[in-house]
Amino acid sequence: MSSAVGEAADRDSRNVSDALGVTMLGACAVWPLVTSAVHGGRPEGVLLAVLALAAGFAAGRITGVLLPVAAPCAGALAGLVLTVTVRLGPGPEITPQLGHAGATAGVLTLSAGAACCAAWATSVPAQRVALWLLAAGVTAAAALLDSTTGAVTCCAVLVCSLAAGRLRHRGPALAASAVAAVLVTGLIWAAAGNALPGGLAAPLTDRLTPHRVDLWRDALGMVRRQSALGVGPGRFGELSTTAAQPTLSDGKPHSALLQTAAEQGVVGLLLLSAVFCWVLFALWRSQRPTPVVLTAGATLTALAAIAAIGNALSFTTVSVGAGLLAGLATARPLAEGPAAHGAPSACGRDLQRGDRPAG
């Protein structure tokens, strides 16, 4: 009886998670239409990103059930090959820091995370070693491609994934991911508002380039003038004095959070944050093993940091990859009941997730 009650409660919780996801993604698709109706603009880019994320998530949920090891392995290989052989976006290179570096770092980080997830998903020692080597190879490729950000984030994903094998409880680790995302957001916001101390502001500006920081300041100025609705999706390039300078520019502030806040207002920024929080919640409730879940959480947090300082989310490849990894890490087994097909009970799944059962 208690097992049946636990099963029902677990299904209800997963249904709530899915309903929240649909609501969040739907709101992220509707709000740009509202802001563009008020101020004008081109919401197509935002709508495409939302569609790409949803499609990737759905594909990950399906393939994660059918091919829990092969699917993330194939995704890791596809991302590596795509980065090495194919240019990730149209248009001219802006500068070494403002070109397609964000997309390259994002795809390589997702590839390393997918390889680590596949390594934890398999029970065959030889396969696990091969998949760890694949993740190390992705990290080496980032270094060879002069993607400093990608190399750093891939190393961070590898370290976090190895540490995840020793953790029993996923809640604190996922909470740490949320705190890390908040700290990065605060740092970027402070840099845009010229609120950092001089000892930190100067080296950070030199590393990110003054041009990028000037774009951030233009975006923050738009937030202050149009905090509720923003200036309209896709209109940053028209209104930014820095983007209008006679240099090669793609008309973007190269920060997902500042671009969202400038073009869609505070509401748009809150919706973007809500989607990230929903992904962490879905990972917490996932039935996949804890190392897989925590590896995916660390990877998506690293991607959020890349997107906060670059233009990674402007590329459909990155949005699809992020959704795919999240879907793989939250895929449900086909069997539901404990008595059918040898499926584990609710208590057993809690132990697998690393949570202690009550009592």
Provide the H-helix boundaries in the chain. Answer: 2-39, 44-66, 70-85, 101-121, 125-144, 148-164, 170-192, 198-208, 210-225, 236-239, 256-284, 290-309, 316-329, 346-353
**With contact defined as beta carbons under 8 Å apart, do 102 and 254 qualify?**
yes
pLDDT tens per residue, range 230-244: 999 999 988 888 877
In a domain, residue 278? The reply is: yes
In a domain, residue 160? The reply is: yes
Query: How is residue 334 written in tokens?
Result: 């086909």
> Structure pTM?
0.88
Cα–Cα distance measured from residue 83 to residue 178, given in angstroms and rounded to the nearest whole number: 28
pLDDT tens per residue, range 294-328: 999 999 999 999 999 988 988 999 999 999 999 99
Cα–Cα distance measured from residue 122 to residue 86, given in angstroms and rounded to the nearest whole number: 30
Task: Tell me how many domains the chain contains.
Answer: 1
**With contact defined as beta carbons under 8 Å apart, do 309 and 98 qualify?**
no
Cα–Cα distance measured from residue 230 to residue 314, given in angstroms and rounded to the nearest whole number: 18
Cα–Cα distance measured from residue 349 to residue 354, given in angstroms and rounded to the nearest whole number: 9
pLDDT tens per residue, range 49-90: 999 999 999 999 999 999 999 999 999 999 999 898 875 544
Cα–Cα distance measured from residue 4 to residue 27, given in angstroms and rounded to the nearest whole number: 35
Mean pLDDT computed over 238-265: 83
- Structural domain range at position 85: 2-353
In a domain, residue 152? The reply is: yes
In a domain, residue 359? The reply is: no
pLDDT tens per residue, range 16-47: 888 999 999 999 999 999 999 998 889 999 99
Which pLDDT band, with edges at 50, 70 and 90, does 335 fall under? low
Query: Cα 170 to chain center, whole Å?
Result: 18
